């Protein structure tokens, strides 16, 4: 997108350009957001800018589970009451919030920060898979729950992880199919997600050659 029209002030054009870089924001939405900020009271605009800066300065990835946090390790990883023999693997930090709302799971997590998607140029090396395997080799983990979204990318990522984890002798399960195919965990209701956790099934590895990270 290139807002080079002389009818728009340069600082506003730059703001439109920055909004357009955000996922899910098209040209018209970027323009509406920019003009909304322009009309916003200065105090509110400054508060928004301060919040963005604070997030970038204070929020980090947990060195254990890769979730976003202010402290390392995060509160979940440092909670002694959690079941430390089970890890639930999710795509994004928002998925953890969805699962925690169900109160049906009491183990640990691992965030991949995406899925394998060749169409988008995202391979296994772009995800937090190496960090997951390091945890599985060093910690006493008995079960890994694959909670990737039930879509093409999520299923491909789950299959890839299964081929990596199965040789370690760790039980691999996935959420029950109560979740709608093609949907995201973020939008699943609490009851459906809780039942999917309770009805998770062990993943059967096929007979093809195993993959490597």
pLDDT in tens, 159-180: 999 999 999 999 999 887 655 5
What CATH number was assigned to the domain covering residues 10-58? Answer: 1.10.8.420
Give the pLDDT score at 160: 97
Query: In this prediction, what percent of the chain has a pLDDT beyond 70?
Result: 86
Q: Where are the domains of the chain?
A: 10-58, 68-202
**What does the DSSP 8-state code read for residue 58?**
H
Question: What pLDDT band is residue 126 in, cutting at 50, 70 and 90?
Answer: very high
C-alpha 45/C-alpha 34 separation (Å) is 11
**CATH number for the 68-202 domain, one of 3.30.450.70, 3.40.1360.10, 3.30.43.10, 3.50.50.60?**
3.40.1360.10
Predicted TM-score (pTM) of the model is 0.74
- Of 203 and 42, more confident: 42
Q: What are phi and psi of 89, to 5 degrees?
A: -95, 125
Average pLDDT, the chain: 89
- Of 156 and 184, more confident: 156
Residues belonging to the chain: 213
pLDDT per residue as tens digits for the range 130-148:
999 999 998 899 999 999 9
Strand 68-69 and strand 60-61: pairing? antiparallel
Distances (CA, A) of 206 to 69, 123, 200: 37, 21, 19
Q: Taking residues 80-100, report their average pLDDT.
A: 97
Give the pLDDT score at 168: 95
Pick from 64, 56, 58, 185: which is nearest to 128 by CA?
Answer: 64
Give the pLDDT score at 151: 84
Contact 178, 192 (CB under 8 A): yes
Pick from 77, 56, 55: which is nearest to 66 by CA?
Answer: 77
Q: What are phi and psi of 187, to 5 degrees?
A: -105, 0
Contact 155, 161 (CB under 8 A): no
């Amino acid at each position: 997108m290139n807002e080079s029209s002389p009818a728009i002030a340069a600082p506003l054009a730059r703001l439109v350009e920055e909004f357009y870089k955000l996922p899910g924001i098209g040209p018209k939405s970027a323009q509406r957001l920019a003009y909304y900020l322009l009309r916003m009271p200065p105090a509110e605009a400054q508060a928004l800018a301060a919040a963005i800066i604070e997030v970038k300065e204070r929020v980090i990835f947990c060195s254990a589970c890769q979730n976003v946090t202010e402290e390392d390790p995060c509160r979940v990883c440092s909670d002694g009451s959690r079941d430390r023999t089970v890890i639930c693997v999710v795509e994004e930090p928002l998925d953890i919030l969805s699962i925690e709302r169900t109160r049906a799971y009491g183990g640990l997590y691992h965030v991949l920060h995406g899925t394998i998607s060749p169409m988008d140029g995202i391979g296994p090396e772009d995800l937090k898979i190496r960090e997951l395997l390091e945890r599985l080799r060093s910690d006493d983990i008995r079960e890994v729950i694959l909670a990737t979204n039930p879509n093409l990318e999520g299923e491909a990522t789950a299959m890839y992880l299964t081929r990596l984890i199965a040789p370690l002798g760790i039980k691999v399960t996935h959420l029950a199919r109560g979740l709608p195919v093609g949907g995201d965990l973020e939008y699943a209701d609490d009851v459906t997600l809780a039942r999917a956790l309770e009805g998770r099934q062990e993943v059967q590895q096929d007979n093809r050659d195993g993959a490597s990270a």
